[in-house]
């Protein structure tokens, strides 16, 4: 029997981090021919992940432009992928999550009548403009895909509520698979300021912020709140690897430059990021991925957004929604910095998003759906 041709398509940093262990798992299976196509919606931040995991894509669309718009990303991906599919015809395309690459990848495959599998399926806020455009991207991919790999049972229920009945699997999130290979007891950072930080004596606050719906006033309020927190807490060291988006760079530097205990640094590679997180006191972020990783490392998270599609860790008590309002962000950070009982209540490791075996389950499910094995995949129990 011919090998099953499976093509992974991804383009941004978070997709790459979460697809990398899946690419490795696909490569390990002898029933599968694994092909990888990157759109390079992100260039530097993608290449850093490819380097670390040792992935050399067969196709690279190299679409990134400075200050790119949603329309240019989507159209460049669609046109580029059409050519790729003319050259090779995969039996299955796997896309991840909710970016413009994800949506365009699923749509381009659908146009060629190629089966689509959606990794990290079923996350919803039910607010079409928040996160923007991710909520609509993942909803549309939910319609285009035939296979839905849901990290949690709640994600599966979201899809069932939308009428999806077939091809649903609860697998855990592949980011937890990635996390198991990166965090080390002894770690030397490339950025020397991170080697010099006093992780035991100081309270290191790890910050990231990049979401499009936060551009403008919400992001300005977030940055102003971060400046105030740093200035009123000399016992804290705020470390912020700033996303390369020009809108984010400008805002972060305008509010945070020149504050002694604020360190604005370049984006970290994923090993550095996970090791910094493991050594931090607190995480403040609007990132999706950090909301999943920090609870697994026992780090409290304040989410700099009004909603989250990841309620599991909020329910488990390690993540709180701080919102985008200056006063609310300051008072929630003050509480975690000043009140050790409040901090201890949040600082315990939970793993609602995975157990490190998501990729194995996803590939088992693919082989099962394509009739290459009679053994159904195991379900992640949470």
d(CA 279, CA 41): 30
Quick note: the x/- pattern for ligand UDP over 17-36, rule CB under 6 A, is x-------------------
Choosing from 15, 25, 120, 177, which is the catalytic residue?
120
Closest CB 195 distance from ligand UDP, rounded Å: 17
Q: Is 71 in the site for ligand UD1 (CB under 6 A)?
A: no
Please name which of 352, 220, 203, 362 lies closest in space to residue 283, comparing C-alpha atoms.
Answer: 203
Q: Is 222 in the site for ligand UDP (CB under 6 A)?
A: no
Choosing from 25, 60, 134, 272, which is the catalytic residue?
134
40: Cα within 13 Å, side-chain hemisphere: 17
Helix or strand (DSSP H, E) at 376:
none
**Known catalytic residue: 334?**
no
The single residue among 8, 34, 39, 100 that binds ligand UD1, judged by CB under 6 A, is 100
CA separation, residue 113 to residues 75, 90, 148, 314 (Å): 19, 10, 17, 39
Comparing CB distances to ligand UDP, the nearer of 76 and 243 is 243
Q: Is 246 in the site for ligand UD1 (CB under 6 A)?
A: yes
| Sign of the four-CA dihedral 356, 359, 361, 364 | negative
Comparing CB distances to ligand UDP, the nearer of 14 and 122 is 14
* Tokens describing residue 87: 């050259």
Residue 133 binds which entry of ligand UD1, ligand UDP, none, CB below 5-8 Å type-dependent: ligand UD1
Closest CB 267 distance from ligand UDP, rounded Å: 4
d(CA 180, CA 359): 13
Comparing CB distances to ligand UD1, the nearer of 39 and 182 is 39
Closest CB 134 distance from ligand UD1, rounded Å: 5
Choosing from 42, 96, 138, 210, which is the catalytic residue?
210
The b/e string for 352-381 (b: 16+ C-beta within 10 A; e otherwise) is bbbbbbbbbbbbbbbbebbebeeeebeebe
267 contact partners, CB below 8 Å, separation of at least 6: 13, 44, 45, 48, 241, 242, 243, 244
Residue 68 binds which entry of ligand UD1, ligand UDP, none, CB below 5-8 Å type-dependent: ligand UD1
**Known catalytic residue: 274?**
no
The single residue among 287, 308, 351, 369 that binds ligand UDP, judged by CB under 6 A, is 287
Helix or strand (DSSP H, E) at 41:
none
d(CA 292, CA 273): 13
Q: Is 310 in the site for ligand UD1 (CB under 6 A)?
A: no
User: Of 41-49, 140-148, 187-195, 276-284, which segment contacts ligand UD1 by CB under 6 A?
Assistant: 41-49
Q: Is 13 in the site for ligand UDP (CB under 6 A)?
A: yes
Please name which of 287, 227, 301 lies closest in space to residue 257, comparing C-alpha atoms.
Answer: 227
- Which phi and psi angles does 55 have, rounded to 5°? -105, 125
- Which phi and psi angles does 198 have, rounded to 5°? -90, 85
Closest CB 330 distance from ligand UD1, rounded Å: 25
Q: Is 14 in the site for ligand UDP (CB under 6 A)?
A: yes
User: Of 98-106, 116-124, 332-340, 342-350, which segment contacts ligand UD1 by CB under 6 A?
Assistant: 98-106
**Known catalytic residue: 263?**
no
Helix or strand (DSSP H, E) at 356:
none
**Known catalytic residue: 212?**
yes
Residues annotated as catalytic are: 98, 120, 134, 210, 212, 243
Residues of this chain that interact with ligand UD1 (CB under 6 A) are: 12-14, 41-45, 65-68, 70, 73, 98-100, 133-134, 210, 212, 244-246
């Amino acid at each position: 029997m011919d090998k099953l041709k499976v093509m992974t398509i991804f383009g941004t940093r978070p997709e790459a981090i979460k697809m990398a262990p899946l690419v490795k798992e696909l490569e390990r299976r002898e029933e599968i021919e694994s092909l990888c196509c990157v759109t390079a919606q992100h260039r530097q931040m993608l290449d850093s992940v490819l380097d670390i995991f040792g992935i050399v894509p067969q196709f690279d669309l190299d679409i990134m432009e400075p200050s790119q718009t949603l329309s240019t990303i989507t159209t460049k991906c669609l046109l580029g992928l059409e050519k790729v599919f003319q050259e090779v015809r995969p039996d299955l395309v796997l896309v991840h999550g909710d970016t413009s690459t994800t949506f365009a990848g699923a749509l381009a495959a659908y146009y060629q009548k190629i089966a689509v599998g959606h990794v990290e399926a079923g996350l919803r806020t039910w607010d079409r403009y928040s996160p923007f455009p991710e909520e609509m991207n993942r909803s549309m991919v939910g319609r285009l895909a035939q296979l839905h790999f849901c990290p949690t049972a709640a994600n599966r229920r979201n899809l069932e509520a939308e009428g999806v009945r077939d091809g649903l699997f609860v697998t855990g999130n592949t980011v937890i698979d990635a996390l198991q290979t990166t965090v080390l007891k002894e770690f030397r950072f490339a950025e020397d300021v991170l080697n010099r930080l006093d992780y035991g004596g100081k309270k290191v606050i790890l910050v990231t912020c990049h979401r499009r719906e936060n551009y403008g006033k919400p992001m300005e309020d977030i940055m102003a709140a971060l400046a105030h927190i740093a200035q009123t807490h000399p016992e804290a060291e705020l470390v912020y690897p700033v996303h390369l988006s020009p809108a984010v760079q400008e805002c972060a530097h305008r509010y945070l430059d020149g504050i002694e205990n604020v360190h604005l640094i370049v984006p970290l590679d994923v090993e550095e990021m996970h090791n910094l997180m493991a050594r931090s006191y607190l995480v403040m972020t609007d990132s999706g991925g950090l909301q999943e990783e920090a609870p697994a490392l026992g780090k409290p998270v304040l989410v700099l957004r009004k909603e989250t599609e990841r309620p599991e860790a909020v329910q488990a008590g390690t993540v709180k929604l701080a919102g985008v309002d200056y006063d609310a962000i300051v008072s929630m950070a003050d509480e975690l910095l000043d009140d050790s009982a409040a901090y201890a209540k949040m600082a315990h490791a939970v793993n609602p998003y995975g157990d490190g075996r998501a990729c194995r389950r996803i590939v088992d499910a693919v082989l099962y759906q394509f009739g290459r094995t009679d053994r159904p995949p195991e379900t992640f129990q949470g």
